[in-house]
Structure 1
Amino acid sequence: MPRHTHLDPRAIVLLLICCVMWGLNQVAVKAAMSEMGPLWQAGLRSLVAAGLVALWAKWRGIALFQRDGTLRGGLLAGALFGLEFACIFIGLQYTSASRMVVFIYLSPFVVALGMPFISASERLAPRQIAGLVMAFSAVAWAFSEGFHQAEASRPLQWLGDSLGVLAALLWGGTTLAIRGSRLSSASAEKTLLYQLGISGLGLSLAALWVGEPLPAEWSLRLSGLFFFQAVIVSFASYLLWFWMIRHYPATRLASFTLATPLFGLLAGAALLDEAISPRLGLALLALAVGVALVNRKPEPAPNEEEAGGSRGVAPTGAATGKPGDR
């Protein structure tokens, strides 16, 4: 399938499904922490999902272990992926799922800032730079609340918020590593297996190293929460995400994921009774506006409009969907 230059209806539907799943995921992680430590949660779910990816690829006849020059990019993406989830799972011990999901989705800012260094066609215009400043200011404003208005039950909320911001930087870095390496032409299954395998092994070893205990028994509640994290999110939704990164513009995909914090905020309030402060809600709105400005399609230049002409001939570089267009 060739790379698209815009998000078509199929991509929008798939992204909405992913955003709902990712918004619920932080709630599932937070809820499972009463029965299972953060490092074991993150490590085991990645290992289970890696096994499912390997079985899926075998069933579909997709080769995963041939030499194709992706090892260096795969190791980097896997390390970033593992560190990202270590930050998320540990950070959720100190801050709410609602706050965490907002800070994680600073990642579109990272992608928008870094993509011009990978693809010259995605250089930032003044309007886009203004959007970046707005997005960054919104997150900084929400972040300061953790220092001045932290709940008595969460004296280290600022630490959880900090880990959420770091996770966003790592997620954005993972996307850039994929697009800037040979992984950009690898199958979604191979891209995901690198990240799940490396992160699963690293996080499980970290859990053993710090002495984090495994649950003595798996309740029905814990089993359901773990199934959702490992199968629905880590396997199915991430497979969709990496397939879309390969076939659609990374900055547009990343900006669309700003729908996720909305679902996360609603899920945290409905399922965990977490309060949503006015500052956090306004920060989310400003973040969405800022990143939308970054990724807004620029107006065509007058000479490009004339080149298209009334005959309907597409100008050079138009969205024909062919790989050479990028």
Structure 2
Amino acid sequence: MQIPLMAIASALVIHTLWGGNPVAVKLGLVAFPPLWSAFIRFAIGALCIAGWAYINKIRLWPERREWRGLCTVALIFTVQISMMNLGINLTSGASAAVMTATFPLFAGLFAHFMIAGDRLTPGKVAGLLTAFLGVGVVLTGGRIPQEFSSADFGDLIILASTVLLGARMVWTARLVSNIEPTRLVFWMMLLSLGVFAAGAVMWEEINWGQVGWLPIGALAYQGVVIAGLGFMVNTWLLKRYSPSVMISFGFISPISGVLLSALLLGDALTWDLAAGTALVGIGLIILARRAQARSPG
């Protein structure tokens, strides 16, 4: 499959911006707890996508046959985002950036079983194992852990969230062959808002004393750039190219995420974090190259 330069550039930019998402989530959580953060973020994102649909005259109301798929992907999405925000609240931005960047690994595994012609090969498996070794280095700090901290628990929650993200990406790739991508992303977000709002009202309280331009700007970044632009561009790309090819550009995300975490959050660039990031990036590059080599055209 020959991928146009513009599509490659779009994927690289989106994954670079995605690398900054855990940093933005961390900054927003100072004032807005996990479920409030998710609700505000995707309310903004849904409005952006509704505006895009209006400008491009895209019908948003689903056909009857589409509801089942939309509800399924919305359920996965709601659980995944809730877990991601909770995990980021417990760990560092740099560690979260590396964990969330591993979703192509799980997407590759799910695609093997769910997408015809998108099979695991020995080369892909080598990439997966290399990246998972990097995850292990980040999780353990390169040594046998003596105790289990809240940050370790946060890392594991994010990793579980990333498994769901990989499943959601592959499920989305299947759905967009029959459902218009804009409509799919809009309803995925809209159906999640009630759950986020209910959970936030019952269990969380906004820290009004910390509300300022920084957490508000972080939420705007998550809503407009990530939930709006990022989701739309990525879904558009998935409709046209193999999931294993496109999502493997995610090797950029851990690098940008770790650097932004150091710059904006003051996270330390330790040797184990650098080694883990490098291994994850190398593994994803191997996965991407093998996926491209197997693509026809």
Q: Same fold (TM over 0.5)?
A: yes
Which of 166, 170, 174 pairs up with 2:168?
A: 174
Q: Is the 8 A contact 1:95 1:161 kept in 2?
A: yes
Extract unaligned runs of 5+ from structure 1: 302-316, 320-326
Instruction: Give the aligned partner of residue 188 of structure 1.
Output: 181
Post-superposition CA distance 1:151-173 (Å, at most 9, x none) = 9xx94111110111012101101
Post-superposition CA distance 1:12-61 (Å, at most 9, x none) = 21112212221222112111222221210111111221122123212221
Structure 2 CA distance for partners of 1:148 and 1:113, relative to 1, 3 Å? same
2:239 equivalent to 1:243 = no
Summarize the alignment of residues 98-113 of structure 1 with structure 2, pairs less than 5 Å apart.
Answer: 98-113=94-109
Q: Which amino acid aligns with 1:165?
A: L
2:147 equivalent to 1:157 = no
Calculate the TM-score normalised by the size of structure 2: 0.90
Instruction: Give the aligned partner of residue 30 of structure 2.
Output: 34
Q: Is the 8 A contact 1:73 1:183 kept in 2?
A: no
Q: Which amino acid aligns with 1:73?
A: G
Q: Distance in 2 between matches of 1:173 and 1:7?
A: 23
Q: Distance in 2 between matches of 1:76 and 1:125?
A: 29
Q: Distance in 2 between matches of 1:300 and 1:88?
A: 32
Whose helix fraction is larger, Structure 1's or Structure 2's?
2
Post-superposition CA distance 1:56-99 (Å, at most 9, x none) = 21222101114163222211211112222212211122110100
Offset at residue 234 of structure 1 (A): 1.0
Which of 183, 194, 208 pairs up with 1:215?
A: 208
Q: Name the SS for the 1:133 alignment partner.
A: helix
- C-alpha RMSD of matched pairs (Å): 2.6
Instruction: Give the aligned partner of residue 312 of structure 1.
Output: none
Instruction: Give the aligned partner of residue 131 of structure 2.
Output: 135
Offset at residue 297 of structure 1 (A): 3.9
Instruction: Give the aligned partner of residue 59 of structure 1.
Output: 55
Q: Distance in 2 between matches of 1:67 and 1:292?
A: 39
Q: Distance in 1 between matches of 2:224 and 2:296?
A: 38
Instruction: Give the aligned partner of residue 71 of structure 1.
Output: 67
Extract unaligned runs of 5+ from structure 2: none
Instruction: Give the aligned partner of residue 277 of structure 1.
Output: 270
Post-superposition CA distance 1:271-291 (Å, at most 9, x none) = 111012211221222222223
Q: Distance in 1 between matches of 2:40 and 2:128?
A: 36
2:16 equivalent to 1:23 = no
Q: Is the 8 A contact 1:146 1:158 kept in 2?
A: no
Which of 57, 77, 80 pairs up with 2:76?
A: 80
Calculate the TM-score normalised by the size of structure 1: 0.83
- Structure showing greater radius of gyration is 1
- Identity rate, percent: 23
2:39 equivalent to 1:43 = yes
Q: Distance in 1 between matches of 2:54 and 2:40?
A: 21
Offset at residue 130 of structure 1 (A): 2.5
Post-superposition CA distance 1:286-310 (Å, at most 9, x none) = 2222233333247989xxxxxxxxx
Structure 2 CA distance for partners of 1:298 and 1:54, relative to 1, 3 Å? closer
Q: Is the 8 A contact 1:146 1:161 kept in 2?
A: no
Q: Name the SS for the 1:120 alignment partner.
A: coil
Instruction: Give the aligned partner of residue 306 of structure 1.
Output: none
Which of 281, 284, 297 pairs up with 1:291?
A: 284
Structure 2 CA distance for partners of 1:298 and 1:272, relative to 1, 3 Å? closer
Q: Is the 8 A contact 2:127 2:283 kept in 1?
A: yes
Offset at residue 101 of structure 1 (A): 0.9
Which of 118, 125, 135 pairs up with 2:121?
A: 125
Instruction: Give the aligned partner of residue 224 of structure 1.
Output: 217
Q: Which amino acid aligns with 1:284?
A: T
Offset at residue 225 of structure 1 (A): 2.0
Structure 2 CA distance for partners of 1:157 and 1:299, relative to 1, 3 Å? closer
Q: Which amino acid aligns with 2:173?
A: R
Which of 191, 205, 227 pairs up with 1:198?
A: 191
Which of 206, 227, 245 pairs up with 1:252?
A: 245
